[in-house]
Structure 1
Amino acid sequence: MAARTIEELREIINRTSTKLSNDLKNQGIPSPTVNNTVARPSFESIDLNASRELLDAVREVEALVMGPQKMLTYMAVIYHDVTSLGALLEFNIPALVPLEGTVSISSLASQSGLSEDKLTRFIRYAATNFIFCEPLPGIIGHTAASAALARDPAFCNFLRWLTVDLAAVQASIPVAAKKWPLTEKMNECAVNYASGTNGNFWQWMNGDPVRQSRFHQAIAGHAGGGGGLKGRSLDVEAYPWAEKLGRKAVVVDVGGGSGYFSRALALAYPEFTITVQDRAAAFSASAARSDKPSNLNFQEHDFFTPQPLRDADAYFLRHILHDWPRAEAVSILRNLLPALKPGARVLVSEHLMPGGERGESLLEDKMIRQVDMQMMGVLNSKERTTEDYAALFQEADKRLKFRVKYQLPEDKKSWIFEAVWETDS
């Protein structure tokens, strides 16, 4: 996408903001501000394309008007966006502010145990990002963003993991890259530099019960999030399961954790037989639920060992391969091969990394590249392009043929990559 002049950007902003304004009126929704605390539909749920076009234009205007020096200076200290939010979450400040009304900073300091001086500075910095407002000096109220935090403790757990537990790791990416410029080893990346551990991320995380608990809380908070997509299982919707696999398909959810996805699939396709494989600790609570679907099973399995369930119609890996560098990702795929019957599908659900081209939305591209940088920092892994996944399948075995990828229009970052096991005739 070519860069635009301020006149071209003005036209885009006028057109898209007018479209969204008219949509609000037509749906009887009052036009909100960033300080409105009443939950409302997101602009993306009203008109996805207009919202994304407007966001991209506004971001480009900001860069154009700020100029290079000011923009780069702001970028160099943007980690304080992270530190201020992380501090507010660590002290549970959003939950301490009433959803209706206001509270004094001194009262919040007393309740939280944080000094009034530091709390004031954290809040006033966060307010520059529209998190909290200060209608009177020393008196704090919610904005739309801070109210969203107060209403969703699970989402706060996810954000706290990113802004507190992983902040030092991500900030160490440049020095880790300097120390280990060519490696793909999982124990030679930013998590090692920041923490001093000699193990990989999983060993570092599992070595501390408190850290491990916060990680699992973060995963649960992330699984339940997604703004306008909240509560939907996109993988169930994105792939034509019965059409491709048959009405009574057998599906293995490899590394499926608690079975969040497989439960949704089992309910959507009651004639399927579905098995979640992971560590027993990951799924024990789900397996014991009284409302577990009758067509949903659980099995302890390490995906670095040969697949024990043979002749399934599909082996599904959701957000697994992006956790591992190339060699380990290929090993995971190769351990499926002995179980595959002719025509079996290997389905990989992951974010799609853009190549050198710019996609339809600059902001969406940036978000997926942020995830990619995070994978570099904690695992020395990466998000991958379509070509990367095709190459992984081929490196695992040339008979594992990448055929097609599927997505939902509402979530252009996430795709299901389908490979088919094609044996020689």
Structure 2
Amino acid sequence: MGWFNSGPGFEPTALVESIPWGKYKTVVDVGGNTGLVSQAIAKKHASVKFIVQDRPEPVVEGIDRLAPEFKDQITFMQHDFFQDQPISADVYLFRWILHDWSDKYAIKILRALIPALKDGAKVILNEFVLPPPGVASAFLSKSLRTMDLSMLELHNGKERDADDWASLFEACDSRFHFEGIIRAPGSRLGIIQATWKL
């Protein structure tokens, strides 16, 4: 994951710059591994608190490797994202998580947030967004479709286009309001946003 977070077009720069993180108090980085993305955001937004959730191994590693400058800003928590979310926060961030899962399980992951969601809470996904046929270059289109097939073969997962992402939230719960996708220049990942509205 460290390599994927630093490769050309995959670094978290677009995610850091495209969202007004400073207006939020608490962000839960679901499946956040050792906290690399939370640290990238925290560097520019010292007022935001982050809770990085993952399996026991990356949580232990993340705690051990956390730079002293982030000790008061970033905490770690063991959590299975198929289980009910215990933390009420302003934002739930998923970076490259849901493409590993078919719709059935992606919906289960998103629905697990519901017990903790307050009105106005945001869900932000940082994932591939497949372009419509014929829009992207032949090379990019082939790369993305190859990744889609790879996710299906390896995980029974899938890459999704904009309509797929909107439909996924709609299938989860009508209180998820899909807000669209940011396609930042230079980034190979889209930023998909939804807001929970009671």
Where does residue 87 of structure 2 map in the other structure? 309
Q: Is residue 318 from structure 1 mapped to residue 100 from structure 2 by the alignment?
A: no
**Residue 238 in 1 paired to residue 25 in 2?**
no
Could you list the per-position Cα deviations for residues 51-83 of structure 1 after superposition, in whole angstroms to 9, with x for gaps in the alignment?
A: xxxxxxxxxxxxxxxxxxxxxxxxxxxxxxxxx
1:341 aligns with 2:118: yes
SS at match of 2:130: coil
Partner SS, residue 266 of structure 1: helix
Structure 2 Cα separation of the partners of residues 370 and 230 of structure 1 = 17
Amino acid aligned to 1:307: Q
Give the Å deviation of 1:282.
1.1
Q: Distance in 1 between matches of 2:20 and 2:123?
A: 14
* Residues 390-401 of structure 1 mapped to structure 2, 5 A cutoff: 390-401=166-177
CA distance in 2, matches of 1:253, 1:220: 16
Q: Give, in angstroms, the shift of residue 232 of structure 1.
A: 5.4
CA deviation string 1:171-214 (max 9, x = no partner): xxxxxxxxxxxxxxxxxxxxxxxxxxxxxxxxxxxxxxxxxxxx
Q: Which letter does structure 1 place at the counterpart of 2:20?
A: P
Return closer, same or farther for 1:319/1:308 CA change in 2, 3 Å cut-off: same
What residue number does 1:152 align with? none
1:11-61, Cα deviation, whole Å (9 max, x unpaired): xxxxxxxxxxxxxxxxxxxxxxxxxxxxxxxxxxxxxxxxxxxxxxxxxxx
How many positions carry a matched residue from both structures? 196
Unaligned runs of 5+ in 1: 1-218
Shift of 1:291: 1.6
In the alignment, which of 58, 74, 77 is matched to residue 299 of structure 1?
A: 77
- TM-score, normalised via structure 2 length: 0.92
Whether 1:403 aligns to 2:185 is: no
Q: Is the CA contact 1:323–1:381 (under 8 Å) kept in the aligned structure 2?
A: yes
Residue type of the partner of 2:108? S
Inter-partner Cα distance in structure 2 for 1:370 and 1:339 = 36
The one-letter code of the counterpart of 2:47 is E
Looking at structure 2, the residues matched to 232 and 320 of structure 1 have their Cα atoms a distance apart, in angstroms, of: 14
The aligned amino acid for 1:375 is M
Partner of 1:187: none
Q: Which amino acid aligns with 2:189?
A: S
Q: Write the letter of the residue equivalent to 2:80.
A: D
SS at match of 1:329: helix
Letter in 1 for 2:21: W
Structure number with bigger Rg: 1
Q: 1:225 aligns with which of 7, 12, 17?
A: 7
Matched to 2:4, the amino acid is H
1:239 touches 1:406 (CA, 8 Å); kept in 2? no
**In the alignment, which residue of structure 1 is the partner of 2:191?**
416
**Is 1:254 aligned to residue 34 of structure 2?**
no
Q: Does 1:332 align with 2:112?
A: no
Give the conservation status (yes or no) of the 8 Å contact 1:333–1:396: yes
2:42 matched to which residue of 1?
A: 266
- Identify, as 1 or 2, the structure richer in helix: 1
Alignment deviations for residues 364-403 of structure 1 (CA, whole Å, 9 cap, x no partner): 2221111111101101211001111111111110110101
Q: CA deviation at 1:341?
A: 0.6
Per the TM alignment, residue 407 of structure 1 is displaced from its structure 2 partner at its CA by: 2.5
Residue 290 of structure 1: CA displacement? Answer: 5.7
Relative CO higher for 1 or 2, CA cutoff 8 Å, sep ≥ 6?
2
Unaligned runs of 5+ in 2: none
Query: 2:62 is paired with a residue of what secondary structure?
Result: helix
Alignment partner of 1:307: what SS?
A: coil
**Residue identity opposite 2:55 in structure 1:** R
Identity of counterpart residues, as a percentage? 36
Distance 1:387 1:337 in 2: 22
